[in-house]
Amino acid sequence: MAAPMSDLELETSSVEGAPEGGDPTVAIRGRSPLQLAWLRLRHDRVSLTAMLFVIFFALVAIIAPILSSAGIIDPYTFHNTGADSLVGGPGTVPNGPWGGISTDHWFGVEPGTGRDVLSRIVLGIAFSLMIATGSVIVSCVLGMVVGIITGYMGGVTDFFFGRFMDVILSFPQLLMLLALSPVLKQRIADLIGESNQGAVSVSAIYLIAVLGFFGWPYLARIIRGQVLTLRNREFVEAARSLGATRRRIWFRELLPNLWAPLIVYASLTLPQFIGAEAALSYLGVGIQAPTPSLGNILNDAVSWYDPDPAFFFLPGIVLVLVVLAFNMFGDGLRDALDPKSGR
């Protein structure tokens, strides 16, 4: 029995003017690589579920600043109104079960301040995804450009950039982030002319720049290996023989054949940067309160773990769901874009 053709679609139609009862003509229509990838992805229920979560968190990140500006969510207002209220007085835990969960505060309120936890988590997702996305863009642009140039040029250029990548990868990333924080933040503030009121934008730019800078060598090495296999292919030789410039060959001939590893790298690196932002905010070099991020919310929650465990577990569960959704979607996307993966 012949194996089913999963990568081709068979369309059966009768030939015009053919005698009645004659054999139908079978037309074979090929699918594009994107169609094949979607065909594989939509049969993976785990990846599809993860994709729905990714879309949901992305929409939350987009609309959260709008909701905050419109006053629909209120992550900054203090509600210290006395011991008989829902919140309790300053420095106390919320009244009521599970950190003051109610119809007005679905995730409860912050101990000691009374700020709405759900509002802070929603806006914290926006800031965390903004920093992670910016870091992915920086690392992808740098890694793609350096990988294409080194793989195509070879020789001294390849050797120089290869050693430079080795030097960057040899640095302890977390230690460098902590050590460079005060110096680079001050330089960024001087460069963009921000005062203390602009501390949020300075911290965001610092995290995006440093995480992106330390992340690009991994992608550059992947792209370099791909370019080494493509630079002697027929379409590159044809472009070269027709007098195409190097820039055209790099970005018009090679780049369209490198989208698959780029997309896979971005989807798998984004959750790493989300976790890194949370860890750095927890260590005090990321986004600082009162501006919420998933990291500094957890940092604030640690000191209230015993009297109010809900304040610690609810943001932690949200962070786990965000990272897990992006990781599982990245795994499924990698398998879908791999033509050698199982059907």
Tens digits of residue pLDDT in 119-166: 999 999 999 999 999 999 999 999 999 999 999 998 898 999 999 998
Which pLDDT score, from 0 to 100, does residue 83 have? 40
Which pLDDT score, from 0 to 100, does residue 199 have? 66
Residue 157 lies in a domain: yes
In this prediction, residue 57 has a pLDDT band, given cuts at 50, 70 and 90, of very high
Statement: residue 40 has pLDDT above 50: yes
222: domain CATH number? 1.10.3720.10
The fraction of the chain above a pLDDT of 70, given in percent, is 83
Structural domain range at position 299: 125-337
Statement: residue 29 has pLDDT above 60: yes
Residue 149 lies in a domain: yes
Residue 2 lies in a domain: no
For the chain, the average pLDDT equals 80
Query: The pTM is what?
Result: 0.81
One-letter-per-residue 3-state SS of the chain: CCCCCCCEEEEEECCCCCCCCCCCEEEEEECCHHHHHHHHHHCCHHHHHHHHHHHHHHHHHHHHHHHHHCCCCCCCCCCCCCCCCCCCCCCCCCCCCCCCCCCCCCCCECCCCCCEHHHHHHHHHHHHHHHHHHHHHHHHHHHHHHHHHHHHHCHHHHHHHHHHHHHHHHCCHHHHHHHHHHHHHHHHHHHHCCCHHHHHHHHHHHHHHHHHHHHHHHHHHHHHHHHHHHCCCHHHHHHHHCCCCHHHHHHHHHHHHCHHHHHHHHHHHHHHHHHHHHHHHHHCCCCCCCCCCHHHHHHHHHCCCCCCHHHHHHHHHHHHHHHHHHHHHHHHHHHHHCCCCCC
In this prediction, residue 195 has a pLDDT band, given cuts at 50, 70 and 90, of low
Residue 302 lies in a domain: yes
Residue 107 lies in a domain: no
Residue 306 lies in a domain: yes
Residue 75 lies in a domain: no
* Total domain count, the chain: 1
Residue 209 lies in a domain: yes
In this prediction, residue 78 has a pLDDT band, given cuts at 50, 70 and 90, of confident
